Amino acid sequence: MGTPPKVVNGKPTIEVAPCHSADVILARQPGRSSLAQQTVIVIGSSTGGTEALRALLTALPEGMPPILIAQHMPEMFTKSFAARLDSLCKLAVKEAEDNERLQANTVYIAPGHSHLLLKAGPSVGLFTSLNAGPPVNRHRPSVDVLFRSAANLVGKNCIGVILTGMGRDGANGMAELKQAGAYNIAQDEASCVVFGMPKEAIAQGGAHEVLPLTAIAGRLVALAQQRPPQL
């Protein structure tokens, strides 16, 4: 049997889980010089994101930098979602594992049970890191966690994208990316299923451009060509 609800003034109440910030997973490190000379694309999405990601990723050619994605999705679906995208895309798409060295032409989907972060390797290159800590903005994986990790390590060599989704996860992280020198794109309202996440990121000043979904792939290709070569 579950725990009975608390009763206040004779009425049962529902306990709401605390809404943690990214601080519960990793500290922000503003002003830190970028450790990585490798371009990385980070993408956050939620409601409507599965189809938005399919449209975006299938439009990307080979020759792209590593792409890391935090999509709000239960853990039993992320592996099959990655496999489906892998069958459709020119890029390799996989559910991220812990301690993988980032490779060009590869998309890493955060597993539904963990936050996806970046970490510096013992030698050259960047690696994935999975963290099963508390939900952030009531989500695990959280976009804010991925974006903060990229801001801390990749900085100006990062490209951030926020797609359709409910709520505000990713808004703080995108602002941090911008402050670290990254270039950011938000999906426009007309092409979103839910404009919540991009709207909040735009309101916080984190987006350099607001684009329809169909224009984002081409812009990513152009931006990636302006950044450091892949390792």
Name the token pair of 66. 């590593």
The residue from 20, 72, 115, 139 that is catalytic is: 72
The DSSP secondary structure of the chain, one letter per residue, reads: -PPPPEEETTEEE-PPPP-B-GGGT----TTPPP---S-EEEEEE-TTHHHHHHHHHHTPPSSPPPEEEEE---HHHHHHHHHHHHHH-SSEEEE--TTPBP-TTEEEEPPTTSEEEEEE-SSSSEEEEEE----BTTBSS-HHHHHHHHHHHTGGGEEEEE-S-SS-TTHHHHHHHHHTT-EEEEE-GGG-S--HHHHHHHHTT--SEEE-HHHHHHHHHHHHHTSPPP-
Say whether 169 is catalytic.
Answer: yes
Backbone φ and ψ of 224, nearest 5°: -65, -35
Catalytic residue among 144, 169, 188, 191: 169
The verdict on whether 86 is a catalytic residue reads no
Is 188 annotated in the active site? no
Cβ–Cβ under 8 Å, residues 108 and 121 = no
Alpha-carbon distance 176 to 230, whole Å?
Answer: 24
Choose, from 46, 114, 129, 191, the residue flagged as catalytic.
Answer: 46
Which active-site residues does the annotation give?
Answer: 46, 72, 169
